[in-house]
Amino acid sequence: MSGFTKGPWTFVPWHIEEGPPAVRAPEGWLIATTSSDADATLIALAPEMLEALEEVRKLVADFAVSGFTDPDLGMKLYENQAQLSALIARARGAEA
């Protein structure tokens, strides 16, 4: 992953002493500040979402090459779909 700070990124909620909602890198560097916890949460999930989407893209391509008949690839796609669903739920505010 070149071009941006490696994840995982951490959501930091608004705090009276520390300021607006933020997203921090593993080393503590500031990635972004936002005006809402929801926006910061979504931004913090970006590296995980990108990784999951890249995996789905690879699995779909491999599954297509197999003629959509490889049961192992089908199961991996199903498992990845569950991971994507969990990420979407977290982005929408559900607890991890």
User: 8 near 48, Cβ under 8 Å?
Assistant: yes
Measured at the CA of 4, the angle between CA 50 and CA 85, to 5 degrees, comes to: 15
Global pTM reads 0.76
Helix (H) or strand (E) run with residue 31 in it: strand 30-33
pLDDT digits 0-9 by tens, 11-35: 999 876 778 999 999 999 999 999 9
Phi-psi region of 68 (alpha: psi -120 to 50; beta: other; left: phi over 0): left
The pLDDT of residue 1: 46
